[in-house]
Amino acid sequence: GTSADNKYKIMNLAELEVFDENDKKISHQRPVTMSSQLGGYSGANLTDGSFNNLAHTKTGDQRELDWMMVDLGSEHKIKALLITNRTDCCKERAIGIRAIVLDADKKTVKSTPAIVIVEDSYEFVFDESKGWSRPGGNET
């Protein structure tokens, strides 16, 4: 981010839902760690199933990116991700966010394209032959 208050590096999302190869939601109430936390907007809000609260990082060092990490407890074959944006304001802060799937050693397995448009939610579906796509052909 280049703004004076660094607002584009802050992450504030309502929910992250992760689905395995059997379409089972495997992220519900899983632990979340974040690079930083603003007030009472804890990482637990990211996977609690409520779309009325949010997880929120606070402005950090401009040389570092904010991040949120969900621990799924074990390795899973990830089929889809649904990122739900904050509902009340500041939806543009989702621009630039990408989801990175890590293995047990925290090495990158796959990464979604970066979000480039403002929407209420972003669904990503993974296909072994095609990689990540957005249903309906929407731009990321």
pLDDT of residue 3: 40
User: From residue 16, how far is each of 1, 21, 62, 63, 64 by CA, in Å?
Assistant: 23, 17, 25, 25, 22
Cα 24 from Cα 117, distance rounded (Å): 28
pLDDT of residue 135: 83
| Dihedral sign (CA 118, 12, 103, 63) | positive
Q: What is the pTM of this model?
A: 0.88
User: How far from the centroid of its chain's Cα atoms is residue 32's Cα?
Assistant: 11
User: How far from the centroid of its chain's Cα atoms is residue 101's Cα?
Assistant: 10
Are the C-beta atoms of residues 34 and 69 closer than 8 Å to each other?
yes
Are the C-beta atoms of residues 33 and 43 closer than 8 Å to each other?
yes
pLDDT tens for the chain, 140 residues long, are 334 444 457 899 999 999 999 999 999 999 999 998 888 899 999 999 999 999 999 865 667 788 999 999 999 999 999 999 998 999 998 998 999 999 999 999 999 999 999 999 999 999 888 888 888 655 54
